[in-house]
C-alpha cells in the first residue's frame, strides 16, 4: 500500500474579520482539548496590541493566528491549522509572514507557549526555527500541565556579498 503524500497548499494570509469566527472556532475545536471560546477570541482581539490573521485557501479559512505586539517581541497567543491542511505548508507560511515583521531595530523575537504533551506542535515550531528556552511549571489554568516557552530570534542575513574579482585593478596596483 502506498502512503498518500500531501501536496503543499498556497494560502492568502489576511487580517481576521468578524465573519471568520465560525471557521476559526471550528479549527480551534478540532485542534485542542481545551479550546478557546468565542469570548476568549473577542477579549484578546479587543486589546490594542493584539492582531488576528487567517490563512485562506479558495475563500475558506484553513488556519489562524492571534498575536500581541510588544516593544521588543511578538507573542503568539493562539495558532492552529485545519486538520486536512496540516503538514501542507499552511502553518509555515503563516510563520513566515510573522517572522517578516521582525527587525534588528525593533522587535527581535517571537515567543509562544506549547503544552508539554503537544509533541506535534513542538516539532512543527522547531522545524520553523523556534527553540525551547524554558519550562513554565503549571502554566495552564485548565490542567496542571507545564508548557515550553519557545522562541524564534531575528537573524540578519549573514551571507557575505560576493565581491567580483577585477583582474585588471589587481594587476594595475
Please give the class, per CATH, of domain 12-155: alpha beta
DSSP type of residue 20? G
167 pLDDT more than 90: no
Residue whose entry in the numeric block shows the C-alpha cell 502506498: 2
Separation between Cα atoms, residue 116 and residue 134, nearest integer Å = 11
* Distances in whole angstroms, Cα of residue 106 to Cα of each of 10, 50, 52, 85, 160: 29, 17, 20, 33, 23
What pLDDT shows up at residue 156? 75
Locate the domains of the chain by residue range. Answer: 12-155
161 pLDDT more than 80: no
What pLDDT shows up at residue 168? 52
Separation between Cα atoms, residue 14 and residue 16, nearest integer Å = 6
Amino acid at each position: 500500500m502506498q502512503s498518500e503524500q500531501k501536496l503543499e497548499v498556497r494560502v492568502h494570509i489576511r487580517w481576521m474579520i468578524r465573519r471568520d469566527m465560525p471557521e476559526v472556532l471550528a479549527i480551534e475545536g478540532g485542534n485542542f482539548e481545551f479550546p478557546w471560546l468565542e469570548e476568549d477570541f473577542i477579549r484578546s482581539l479587543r486589546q490594542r496590541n493584539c492582531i488576528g490573521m487567517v490563512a485562506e485557501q479558495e475563500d475558506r479559512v484553513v488556519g489562524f493566528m492571534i498575536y500581541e505586539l510588544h516593544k521588543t517581541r511578538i507573542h503568539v497567543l493562539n495558532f492552529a491549522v485545519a486538520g486536512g491542511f496540516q503538514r501542507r505548508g499552511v502553518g509555515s507560511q503563516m510563520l513566515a509572514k510573522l517572522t517578516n515583521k521582525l527587525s534588528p531595530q525593533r522587535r527581535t523575537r517571537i515567543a509562544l507557549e506549547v503544552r508539554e504533551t503537544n509533541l506535534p506542535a513542538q516539532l512543527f515550531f522547531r522545524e520553523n526555527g523556534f527553540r525551547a528556552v524554558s519550562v513554565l511549571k503549571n502554566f495552564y489554568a485548565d490542567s496542571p500541565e507545564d508548557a515550553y516557552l519557545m522562541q524564534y530570534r531575528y537573524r540578519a542575513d549573514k551571507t557575505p556579498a560576493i565581491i567580483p574579482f577585477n583582474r585588471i585593478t589587481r594587476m594595475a596596483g
